[in-house]
Amino acid sequence: MQMTNVPQAATLFDASSISRTLALAFADDPMMCWFLPDPATRQAGLDGYFTTLFTRQYGRHGVCERTANAAAFWVPPRAQDKAVPDEETLAELAEILGDRAEPFRRSVEAAAANAPQEPHWYLAVIGADPVAQGQGQGAALLRSGLAKADAAGLPVYLESSKEANLAVYRHFGFEVLEEVRLPEGGPALWVMRRGAGA
């Protein structure tokens, strides 16, 4: 069956294509470039990174959807303890990240320490292959997740590591709560919140 722009549930069988899509989507992301600084190995590293996150964490405990050239990983309230990688996932990611594993671990710990206490949906990852950007695939995935949160009467949180994306999220009702810096001279992250039904 041919994929369309209509979001569909992603399964673990989709791991290869989803990881490739997200690796392309995040190739110029400031945070990913900081974690994987070598351009020669970044694509392979990103592919492994997203494969691990999807197969070990979000694909098992989250709500994951895809279109032909985009994917999104959401964490519903019932799985908030899975919003950040567990120890086994961190160990697998450490092999991919090499000497950047410790800064990554400290960033995860900082995110966990500042996690919202109210019940909420969390948008962990969303991205579209650059060849499909502007076709509405990412927006369709965003609307789909927001509709689930709205139906439950809950807010949504996310962190954006790309300043250029803030306007897009604002368009969908998100507001910046704070700007934080990753440890050890890392890039900025913008923590954003959208109220239920915004």
User: What's the rounded Cα separation, in Å, for the pair 36 and 42?
Assistant: 6
Residue 197 pLDDT class (50, 70, 90 cuts): confident
User: What's the rounded Cα separation, in Å, for the pair 188 and 144?
Assistant: 27
Q: Please write the tens of the pLDDT for every residue from 42-95.
A: 999 999 999 999 999 999 999 999 999 999 999 999 888 877 788 889 899 999
State phi, psi for 132 to the nearest 5 degrees: -110, 0
Amino acid at 12: L
User: What's the rounded Cα separation, in Å, for the pair 83 and 106?
Assistant: 15
Q: Burial, 135: exposed, middle or buried (Cβ in 10 Å; 0-12, 13-18, 19+)?
A: middle
**Beta strands 8-9 and 121-128: pairing type?**
unpaired
Q: Please write the tens of the pLDDT for every residue from 140-171.
A: 999 999 999 999 999 999 999 999 999 999 99
Give me Rg for the CA atoms of the chain: 16
What structural domains does the chain harbor? 8-157 (3.40.630.30)
Higher pLDDT, 134 or 12: 12
User: What's the rounded Cα separation, in Å, for the pair 91 and 41?
Assistant: 19
Q: Burial, 133: exposed, middle or buried (Cβ in 10 Å; 0-12, 13-18, 19+)?
A: middle
